[in-house]
Amino acid sequence: MKSVFTLFGVAFIAIPAAAQVDYRNLDHGRPVSVEDAYPIERYAFEFIAGYRIGRPGEGQTFQSLRLGLSNGIFPGAEAGIGLIGALRSDRRGTETGVGGIQLSALVNLAAERVRLPGLGIRVDGVLPVGRWGGEGAGAMVHLLATRSVGRNRVHLNAGAAIVRQRRPGADESVPLWRVGVAVDRTLIRSSTLLLADLSLAREEAGAPGELGAGLGVRRQITPVLVLDAGLAVGFRPDRRSTVAVTLGASRSFGVAGLMPGGAR
């Protein structure tokens, strides 16, 4: 574990890339729970690796590794797929397994204007694959809004379940609804984005809502590589707070044969 943190620490103090903006594109769930209203560029591919470690309960540790691939399938639209590996430890020992397959689609409905925010819609789905994938499929739709104020941006997300799993997976459940707000600030000279967010979600009808708060940072290391790190805390009246740390990397690339005028 120490070596993982050392690797990311060295990367974050490396020489920044100049004139790049990929670090401003917030990925779903990394490094905070709120995202912006914009997909990746058309024809672009983005490989994502995200690591998460948390303490869901007393004496318990849960770790997950998500590997995903997204593609800008149309102008203003992207689609993605991800596989989750999970490791759970408690007093009885440690168990590993697959934590489900995630599917997603994000469409930008409107670019930001002088008096209007940028708007987008995102649909996420989860398939119950592996011992930690739960039972039954789940899906959720999110409305996204992004508004710029100088070097700062404000993001609003509101989501509701379309289909809920019979038994949620261990990595991330599909709540009845979730709302969140985030603020980020761009440090242009260092190609760095600082973020803070607040969210509220309800898992079951009649159950108390869960309040979440997070801090995050995204740093452009090269023209195609972005690293991120985040800290999230969850609060519920009927249980102790939960804490999770996320580390991630995204690498963008293109395939010449899929671009107009590319190799055949």
**Domain presence at residue 143:** yes
**Domain presence at residue 90:** no
pLDDT mean over 233-262: 82
Q: Quickly state the pLDDT bin for 238 (edges 50, 70, 90).
A: low
**Domain presence at residue 212:** yes
Per residue in 190-210, pLDDT (tens digit) is: 899 999 999 999 988 877 888
Question: In angstroms, rounded to a whole number, what is the distance separating the alpha carbons of residues 209 and 230?
Answer: 22
**Domain presence at residue 52:** no
Among 3-7, 38-42, 147-151, which is the least confidently predicted range?
Answer: 3-7
Question: In angstroms, rounded to a whole number, what is the distance separating the alpha carbons of residues 164 and 174?
Answer: 6
**Domain presence at residue 176:** yes
CA distances from 253 to 42, 101, 123, 194, 206 (A): 11, 23, 24, 24, 46
pTM recorded for the entire structure: 0.86
Question: In angstroms, rounded to a whole number, what is the distance separating the alpha carbons of residues 26 and 182?
Answer: 11
**Domain presence at residue 32:** yes
Residue 15 reports pLDDT greater than 50: no
> Which domain, by its residues, includes 210?
2-37+106-251
- On average, the pLDDT of the chain sits at 87
**Domain presence at residue 95:** no
Per residue in 81-120, pLDDT (tens digit) is: 999 998 888 778 888 889 899 999 999 999 999 889 999 9
List all residues 6 or more positions away from 225 whose beta carbon is below 8 Å from its beta carbon.
249, 250, 251
Question: In angstroms, rounded to a whole number, what is the distance separating the alpha carbons of residues 201 and 159?
Answer: 9
What is residue 3's predicted lDDT score, i.e. its pLDDT?
Answer: 46
Question: In angstroms, rounded to a whole number, what is the distance separating the alpha carbons of residues 179 and 175?
Answer: 11
Question: In angstroms, rounded to a whole number, what is the distance separating the alpha carbons of residues 232 and 182?
Answer: 13
What percent of the chain is modeled with pLDDT above 70?
Answer: 88
Question: In angstroms, rounded to a whole number, what is the distance separating the alpha carbons of residues 179 and 159?
Answer: 6
**Do 144 and 119 contact (CB within 8 A), yes or no?**
yes
pLDDT mean over 232-246: 83
**Domain presence at residue 140:** yes
Instruction: Count structural domains, the chain.
Output: 1
